[in-house]
């Protein structure tokens, strides 16, 4: 374990995880001194009946849910955030209870910024990346195991006026608490389970190999990888009943989130963001497809680190040659993805995920402007990005 010259690690949210963790929410609210929660979610979560689990937890409690806001769009937007902020004030709530994937939480974060900055419109506070004012408490209940956004400090909000994504990133944006309950992800369909699981795998692997790596994020990442290797296939195959696998994946996603929130991500994410922006490939899926190819790109610089991941991925460590070891790791990731492909038909190539070949140059051009590249172990130019994309096509 090498010490970096300098690093920071921060994960200030309280983590509450367990098979009936939802039941703890009222007592957690009590500890925060809160009485009235605004549930922030989306239509899919409501349709899956998950809000009923949350409502059941409030039976007989001192605190209550004032309103269920189910209008979080797939890409949370300034309009949704502003509307939520208005409702929050109208219902006199004192806590955001975000139930869903990353976008529900982002919408809640956006509304929280609006309220704490005493504004009506998120666009007025554009560029205020360093949010100084204290925010209202937020409890995050993830329903997919992947983004890790329950322990990250970023919020991506789509600006409907200018048609661009705004990035807010500040220490104050860490959710106050994260509640992991396996039954909240039990209804996720196999393909999405696999894709989001690979998203978490990518978070941990990128955190482990990139420039900001440090001993504690490494340990988080390794733990996450161990859990993913153990549970991802089980959760995909038998997700409705295998609660142990669901719980394992939920924990893995959180650990991966904690790791990459500090160590940041690299080339895989910048390419996946671009694939999402240009060709609307779901983020987790793009990450999964690009991961092995991107590791091959980074191989010359970080073979040693990639090799160290062999063991957590569950394959035997054989030789002492780091390059050989790293190839084994990449092989193990490919094997895992192929197994997932067999179980749920998860695409393994960009062309099967809805990317057309003529779009690749545009994807590459968008990718080189992505902030994640700052942390990649190797420099990535336009040509390099295009090469990786062509390989993965």
Question: Any idea which residue has 């309280």 for tokens?
Answer: 14
Among 58, 69, 96, 247, which residue interacts with other proteins (rule: CB under 8 A)?
247
CA distance 243 to 160: 39
Nearer to other proteins, 46 or 243 (CB): 243
Residues contacting other proteins: total by CB under 8 A: 62
Report the Cα–Cα distance between both ends of the chain, in Å, rounded.
35
- Site residues for other proteins, 67-126, by CB under 8 A, read none
Nearer to other proteins, 357 or 371 (CB): 371
CA 163 to chain centre: 23
- Site residues for other proteins, 278-307, by CB under 8 A, read 301
Q: Are 391 and 292 in contact (CB under 8 A)?
A: no
The verdict on 163 binding other proteins (CB under 8 A) reads no
Q: Are 185 and 293 in contact (CB under 8 A)?
A: no
Among 184, 248, 292, 353, which residue interacts with other proteins (rule: CB under 8 A)?
248
CA distance 191 to 341: 9
* Min dist. Cβ of residue 196 to other proteins (A): 18
Token readout for 81 is: 């955030």
CA distance 104 to 69: 9
Among 211, 279, 348, 386, which residue interacts with other proteins (rule: CB under 8 A)?
211
**Stretches 77-85, 135-143, 164-172, 324-332: which one binds other proteins (CB under 8 A)?**
164-172
Q: Are 250 and 227 in contact (CB under 8 A)?
A: no
Token readout for 264 is: 């940041």
The verdict on 132 binding other proteins (CB under 8 A) reads yes
Binding mask 341-370 for other proteins (x = CB under 8 A): ---------------------------xxx
Q: Are 160 and 121 in contact (CB under 8 A)?
A: no
Backbone angles phi, psi at 235, to 5 degrees: -65, -35
Among 43, 47, 92, 130, which residue interacts with other proteins (rule: CB under 8 A)?
130
Whole-number Cα distances in Å, 158 to 81, 164, 165, 167: 10, 6, 4, 9
Token readout for 281 is: 């490939």
Nearer to other proteins, 49 or 379 (CB): 379
Among 112, 138, 202, 212, which residue interacts with other proteins (rule: CB under 8 A)?
212
Nearer to other proteins, 41 or 294 (CB): 294
In the complex, which residues of this chain contact other proteins (CB under 8 A)?
A: 1-12, 14-21, 127, 129-130, 132, 134, 167, 171-172, 210-212, 214-216, 218-220, 222-223, 226-227, 230, 244, 247-248, 251, 255, 301, 311, 316-317, 368-371, 373-379
């Amino acid at each position: 374990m090498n010490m970096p010259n300098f690093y920071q690690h921060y994960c200030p949210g309280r983590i509450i995880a367990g098979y009936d963790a939802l039941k703890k929410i009222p007592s957690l609210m009590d500890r925060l001194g809160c009485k009235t929660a605004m549930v922030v979610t989306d239509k899919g979560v409501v349709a899956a009946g998950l809000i009923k689990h949350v409502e059941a937890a409030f039976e007989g409690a001192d605190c209550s849910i004032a309103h269920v806001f189910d209008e979080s769009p797939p890409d949370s937007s300034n309009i949704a955030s502003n509307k939520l902020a208005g409702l929050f004030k109208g219902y006199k709530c004192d806590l955001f209870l975000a139930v869903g994937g990353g976008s529900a939480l982002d919408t809640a974060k956006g509304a929280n910024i609006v309220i704490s900055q005493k504004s009506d419109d998120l666009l007025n506070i554009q560029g205020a990346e360093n949010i100084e004012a204290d925010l209202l408490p937020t409890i995050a209940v993830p329903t997919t195991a992947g983004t890790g956004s329950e322990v990250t400090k970023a919020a991506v909000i789509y600006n409907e006026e200018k048609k661009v994504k705004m990035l807010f990133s500040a220490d104050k944006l860490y959710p106050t608490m994260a509640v992991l309950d396996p039954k909240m992800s039990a209804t996720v369909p196999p393909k999405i389970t696999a894709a989001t699981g690979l998203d978490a795998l990518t978070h941990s692997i990128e955190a482990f190999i990139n420039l900001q790596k440090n001993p504690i994020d490494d340990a988080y990442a390794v733990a996450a990888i161990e859990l993913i290797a153990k549970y991802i296939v089980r959760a995909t195959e038998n997700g409705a009943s295998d609660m142990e696998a669901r719980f394992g994946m939920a924990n893995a996603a959180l650990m991966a989130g904690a790791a990459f929130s500090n160590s940041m991500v690299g080339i895989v994410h910048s390419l996946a963001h671009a694939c999402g922006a240009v060709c609307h490939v779901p983020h987790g899926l793009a990450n999964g497809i690009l991961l092995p190819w991107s590791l091959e790109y980074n191989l010359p610089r970080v073979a040693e680190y990639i090799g160290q991941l062999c063991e957590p991925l569950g394959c035997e460590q054989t030789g002492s040659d780091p390059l050989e070891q790293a190839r084994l790791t990449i092989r193990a990731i490919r094997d895992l993805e192929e197994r997932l492909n067999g179980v749920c038909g998860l695409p393994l190539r960009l062309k099967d995920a809805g990317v057309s070949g003529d779009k690749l140059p545009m994807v590459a051009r968008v990718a080189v402007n992505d902030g994640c590249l700052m942390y990649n172990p190797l420099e990535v130019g336009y040509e390099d990005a295009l090469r990786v994309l062509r390989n993965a096509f």
